[in-house]
Chain A
Amino acid sequence: MNAASETGSTNIMSKALREAAFAGAIAFGMFLLFVGIETYQDIDNRLVWRTRWGLLAIFVIIAAVGRFVTVGFIRPHIDRRKLAKAKSGVLEISEEKGFFHRHFLKIALIALLIYPPMSVMLFGPQGSLKYVDNFGIQILIYVMLAWGLNIVVGLAGLLDLGYVAFYAVGAYSYALLSSYFGLSFWVLLPLAGILAAMWGVILGFPVLRLRGDYLAIVTLAFGEIIRLVLLNWTDVTKGTFGISGIAKASVFGIWSFNVGAPDYFPKALGLATSSAWYKIFLFYVILALCMLTAYVTIRLRRMPIGRAWEALREDEIACRSLGINTVTTKLTAFATGAMFGGFAGSFFATRQGFVSPESFVFLESAVILAIVVLGGMGSLTGIAIAAVVMVGGTELLREMEFLKLIFGPDFTPELYRMLLFGLAMIIVMLFKPRGFVGSRQPTAFLKQRKAVSGSFTKEGHG
């Protein structure tokens, strides 16, 4: 018995060594040109090269050691755990959830509501800017966009790779209409939503017959068309220069946030002049918009239209056979999703005070889609968690000044932001292909409401 396990472990070790050598060789081949050689321009602006063997060695060693540890230690450990679990014959089902788990949503909402005052108390008005604006508002915008896209992808099962187009439509409708006609944020917010929804229908019509990847490429193309038009229609949109000096939102038209104006809002409350108050106000605005999105999604799922969306996702042919009008079902899904994208867009414009086509590249669509899928399509909580992890995580990287102490003063963590974002996307998908939240709450049920595994819901053909 002992001898057998010993030969087993030596076998594993020799296998791990072999695999490590192989991984090292592969890594050497892969990184030889791209890491081992550095190309740069010299003083005469000519392209020259130099070697970086040390860095290449580090890459190869990381690959080999990583492989060795995975094959030699991590994998046997996982296998042993699985075996032990199978032997014990007990399925892990805990019916009783903890207090935190049961009241998660209430706790999260309260935490969000007290977040800005807390950060002002802890860091002062100026210090709170970073936390409220860079983390709070930034994450909430992505939460809202991802929840909006979730209606199209998660509920109706239509793969949309050009969602950022509606975000752009919302942002530019606010930017243009407020700078040309001087309309206020509260008039333009619903208008931007309506315009975006209209564009959703315009996109929806040609793609009604398309399925799967044909749909994906046309939505991608649509997103690019919108961006290219914004980029090239310089008479109206000023092209790459973008539109700057976009009006700030007011407190429902009663007070404004323009410093020096007689109706300056912080003055009415007797507060010091600071841009932090405006950001805190915006934080609550986007929080309210997010809540609206969540509320509408939850309510719609229980209404005939929401059920039709989910039926469409599960089986389009059965759906049609049962007399559901797939045309209106698809169009409403596109329009509703687009509307929330438009809201988020006009909010984005008023928050930045500046919009340019640069903000609406395909990468944004990909990031939003990634958040939806990483969170678990259809699960609002999961999507919110994914947005916090992915967007918050990359924002956090901007703050990592201490890394300069380790890697030297030339080290810029920002450069690695998207690299790590991409790696995180891959790693999360590999370990949790169904997303962070693996369970779904069906709205139609017999006798008792129950969560089901995400693998029981389909992802649609569109």
Chain B
Amino acid sequence: MDYFIQQLINGLTLGSIYGLVAIGYTMVYGIIGMINFAHGDIFMLGGFAALIVFLILTSFFAGIPVALLLLLMLVVGMLMTGLWNWTIERMAYRPLRGSFRLAPLITAIGMSIVLSNFIQVTQGPRNKPIPQLVSDVYHIGAITVSLKQILIVVITGILLAAFWYIVNKTPLGRAQRATEQDRKMAALLGVDVDRTISVTFVMGAALAAVAGSMYLMYYGVASFNDGFIPGVKAFTAAVLGGIGSLPGAVLGGLLIGLIESLWSAYFTIAYKDVATFAILAFVLIFKPTGILGRPEVEKV
């Protein structure tokens, strides 16, 4: 039982990270109906930004408090990836809006290749290890909970609450939901659609940056091709939860995290990704639009 709860905690931590990335996928999908394949690499960029900020700060201010350090890593990472995603949307996706559906998908895949290779070229292909930032560990009975895990879950929770508030209670969120439902009608009613879409990309990127920084903190290593696997998992999470649905993305992320850690604990670790993907296919057979997705209405 203790072992099970331990794995549950591990899964929850991992699931929080996937959930944060999945929100970026699901929001972009909801608002312009495209799979933003470069989102996983935005996550990777966020991790790298945090890594570089960490190196600079620790070399200038040796005794900097960890909390301040973490905060700065998160903030700079969020700004950095927000700027990147804003530019990417502007240059690679916006000119193709209203073009046929596969065109932005191909530019997104191209962008993903460009981003990971850009980091490989500028920062080198080797894994970048950093020393452990937070190493406190708490023991509750036979269960071990590290401060890292608590931090990840708490930060995720705070961000989700803030996010839920923005989307549901602010004028910006209203504009986003309006654009999602009917872009043309929203534009007619005075919503600046282009700006709303840009803001959505920036918000998604900021969440991905937080996830990237926490991934870096959790595993203590960053690499240029870190974007693909977590990106695909997060995308899987978004689809599993029902793409376009925010609670669905979080739920999907948590589910994927749990499946992964429980499978590794009770079966073979080698096949954990196979299990994840197989469960995705299995769920979609019975619920073709995901767990919380709205069924698509077919119009003639």
Contacts and interface: CB of A to CB of B under 8 A. Distances in A.
Interface string B279-300: 0111011001110000010101
B202 to A, nearest CB: 13
A377 B105 CA distance: 14
A352 interface: no
A214 B59 contact: no
A373 B99 CA distance: 13
9 cross-chain pairs, A with B, having the tightest CB-CB distances, nearest first: A425-B110, A422-B113, A221-B277, A422-B114, A419-B117, A232-B270, A433-B103, A426-B110, A433-B99
A310 interface: no
Given A30-B83, A38-B122, A221-B280, A47 B55 contact: yes
Contacts, number: 172
A217 interface: yes
A186 interface: no
A224 B298 CA distance: 30
A421 B274 contact: no
Contact of B87 (A26, A37, A38, A459): A26
A39 interface: yes
Interface in B30-81: 35, 45, 48-49, 51-53, 55-56, 59, 76, 80
Interface string A426-458: 100110011000000000000000000001000
Contacts of A153: 102
Nearest to B126: A41
Per DSSP, chain B at the interface is helix
A397 to B, nearest CB: 13
A197 interface: no
A23 to B, nearest CB: 9
B298 A370 contact: no
Interface string A187-223: 0000000000000000000100111011011101110
Interface stretch (A267-275, A299-307, A361-369): A361-369
Interface in B12-39: 29, 35
A370 to B, nearest CB: 6
Interface in A208-244: 209-211, 213-214, 216-218, 220-222, 224-225, 228-229, 231-232
12 contacts: A34-B48, A34-B119, A39-B128, A48-B59, A49-B52, A209-B285, A217-B236, A366-B109, A422-B111, A426-B92, A429-B96, A434-B100
A358 B84 CA distance: 30
A159 B105 CA distance: 11
A433 B110 contact: no
A153 B121 CA distance: 33
Contacts of A214: 239, 243, 284, 288-290
A317 interface: yes
Contacts of A415: 120-121
A300 to B, nearest CB: 22
B190 interface: no
A370 B281 contact: no
Contact of A38 (B117, B120, B123, B280): B123
A39 B273 contact: no
Contacts of B102: 153, 159, 373, 377, 459
A429 B101 CA distance: 12
Contact of A422 (B110, B122, B126, B296): B110
Given A38-B124, A363-B113, A423-B114, 9 more contacts: A34-B45, A39-B123, A209-B285, A209-B288, A369-B109, A415-B120, A418-B117, A419-B114, A429-B107
Interface of A: 26, 29-30, 33-35, 37-41, 47-49, 153, 159, 206, 209-211, 213-214, 216-218, 220-222, 224-225, 228-229, 231-232, 317-318, 362-363, 366, 369-370, 373-374, 377, 415-416, 418-419, 421-426, 429-430, 433-434, 455, 459
B171 interface: no
Given A38-B122, A232-B271, A459-B100, A206 B281 contact: yes
Contacts of A366: 109, 113
B232 A220 contact: yes
B141 interface: no
Contact of B232 (A231, A362, A416): A362
Interface of B: 29, 35, 45, 48-49, 51-53, 55-56, 59, 76, 80, 83-84, 87, 92, 95-96, 99-103, 105-107, 109-114, 117-124, 126, 128-130, 228, 232, 235-236, 239, 243, 268, 270-271, 273-274, 277-278, 280-282, 284-285, 288-290, 296, 298, 300
Interface centre among A426, A430, A434 (most CB of B within 10 A): A426
Contacts of A455: 100
Per DSSP, chain A at the interface is helix
B106 A429 contact: yes
Contacts of B83: 26, 29-30
B105 to A, nearest CB: 8
Contacts of A49: 52, 55-56, 59
A216 B236 CA distance: 11
B259 to A, nearest CB: 13
Contact of A218 (B29, B35, B281): B281
A415 B124 CA distance: 10
Given A206-B285, A459-B102, A47 B128 contact: yes
Contacts of A213: 29, 35, 239, 243
